[in-house]
Structure 1
Amino acid sequence: MTTIDRRGRVAARSPLRTLGWRAGLRVAVTVVSSVVVVVARADGAVAITAQGHLRLPVAVRRVCRLHDGDRLLVAACPDPGILVAYPMAELDAMVLAYHATRRGEAC
């Protein structure tokens, strides 16, 4: 879990380190079903900052309704080399959907 600041900077750097992504690396940032998906691409529109942070573009933040201080679950998937960021609203929806299918069962 991590936060983003008013300029879209994702505070956590450990997922980027897990992927071996360093400052200056170009990445493509897209949104798939309200989940942020990031892949390394030489022609990517975004670069990892000099301090090693990912900065989410304003268009992505608008689509996902992300604001200063919002929390995200950020996960690195090393084998395909992608990073995904789940806004809290998506996590809430996933948990509710899961429990809706488990009615009557103990946790």
Structure 2
Amino acid sequence: MAAIDVSGRIADRLIVHALGWTTETRLHIYEDAGLIVVRLSPHGVFTLTGQLHLHLPAAVRKWCGLKAGERVLLAADAAAGVLVVHPPAALDQMIVQAHTLALGGDRA
């Protein structure tokens, strides 16, 4: 879990190091099904900040309803060079779906 600062940065260096990313790493950042996907891409227009923080673009934050101070769940696949950022709304939806499945759907 990590917090989004007022500028849209995530300051979790542990996950950045686990992914092997540096300030030279080119990234593609996009929203997909309410999640923020960050992928290695030789044509990516994004990079980490000088402090190795991930800056999420304002448009992506807006699409996902992220505000400063909110905490997000980070999940990485280092072998694939992918980081998935789970905003609170996406986590809520996943929990509702899991509980619905575990509790038998609409059954009383």
User: Do they superpose with TM above 0.5?
Assistant: yes
The alignment covers a number of residue pairs equal to 104
Residue 76 in structure 1 maps to residue 76 in structure 2 = yes
Q: Which residue of structure 2 aligns with residue 11 of structure 1?
A: 11
CA distance in 1, matches of 2:18, 2:56: 19
Say if 2:31 and 2:60, in contact at 8 Å, map to a contact too. Answer: yes
Q: Which residue of structure 2 aligns with residue 20 of structure 1?
A: 20
Gaps of 5+ in 2: none
Q: Which residue of structure 2 aligns with residue 37 of structure 1?
A: 37
Q: What SS does structure 1 have at the residue aligned with 2:93?
A: helix
Say if 2:3 and 2:69, in contact at 8 Å, map to a contact too. Answer: yes
Gaps of 5+ in 1: none
Q: Which residue of structure 2 aligns with residue 88 of structure 1?
A: 88
CA distance in 1, matches of 2:40, 2:80: 10
> What TM-score do the two structures reach when normalised by structure 2?
0.90
Q: Which amino acid aligns with 1:38?
A: V
Say if 1:16 and 1:76, in contact at 8 Å, map to a contact too. Answer: no
Deviation at 1:24, TM superposition (A): 3.0
Say if 2:11 and 2:52, in contact at 8 Å, map to a contact too. Answer: no
Q: Which residue of structure 1 aligns with residue 2 of structure 2?
A: 2
**Percent identity over the alignment?**
38
**Alignment RMSD, CA only?**
1.1
